[in-house]
Amino acid sequence: MNTIYCISGLGADERAFAKLHINGFLLHLIPWVDPIKNEAIESYAARMSEQIKEDNPILMGLSFGGIMCIEIAKQRKVRQIILISSVKTSAELPAWMKLVAKSKLNKIYPMKSYKITAPIQNYFLGASTKDEKDMANAYRQQAKMGYTNWAVNEVLNWKNEWMFPGCFHIHGAEDKIFPIKNIKADMIIEGGGHFMIMNKAAEVSDAIQMALNSIC
C-alpha cells in the first residue's frame, strides 16, 4: 500500500487526519519536533524530513504543515504535495499577517492562549461543534510555548516565491485564517473553513483522491 506522509497544523497531531478516508493509501503522520532556539525553518524542515524513510514520497500538509511540506520539497525529491487549508508562497499570506510580522507584534505579545480568547480563536478556525472546539482547545493546551512562538514567527515571516510543480491545493471558500481571495487553489470546498478537514472530511477526502488519481 502506498504511503502519504502527513504533517498536521500548528501544534496538532494525527487526530487532524482521523476523518479522512483515502482508498489505497496509508496515512503516516510526521510528528512535530521541538525547535532549536532561533532555528531557521530550512534547518527544521531538514530534521522533519529525517522521519521520511522512502524516496520520492507523497506529502500532505495541513495549514502550517503545508508550509513545512514546501520547505521539505526544496531539499529532497518529492513525488507530490497535497496542501489543505494552507499557502504555497508568501504571496498567499493575508495582509494582516504581513503587518504583524513587520511590526513584530508576535515578539511583543507571545502567542499564549487564554480561556477568554478561545471562542475568537475557534471562530477563525471554523470549529463550531463541541467536539471540534474541544479538539482545538486541547491542541492549544498541549502545544509547548517554545514551539508555538517559533512556529507562529516562521509563518508570519515566511519568504517563499518558489512554486513546487507537483502541488495540489485544496482550500475552503470560507477560510478565515488564509482567505480564499489570496489563494490560487486547485479545488475549492464551498462552505469550508480552516477546520474543514474535520467538518467537511468527506469532501476533502474526495478532493485528495482526485489529486492522487492524477499521479497513479
Looking at residue 110, what is its pLDDT?
52
3-state class of 28 per DSSP? Answer: strand
Looking at residue 216, what is its pLDDT?
59
Tens digits of per-residue pLDDT, 25-65?
999 999 999 999 899 999 999 999 999 999 999 999 999 99
Percentage of residues of the chain with pLDDT beyond 90:
68
Tens digits of per-residue pLDDT, 87-131?
999 999 999 899 888 887 666 555 555 555 677 777 777 777 787
Ordered by where they begin, the domains of the chain are 2-213 (3.40.50.1820)
Looking at residue 116, what is its pLDDT?
56
Tens digits of per-residue pLDDT, 158-181?
999 999 998 999 999 999 999 999
Looking at residue 13, what is its pLDDT?
82
Looking at residue 96, what is its pLDDT?
87
Whose grid coordinates read 475568537? 120
Whose grid coordinates read 491542541? 139
Task: Give the three cell numbers for residue 187.
Answer: 479545488
Tell me the CB-side half-sphere exposure of residue 37, using CA atoms within 13 A: 0
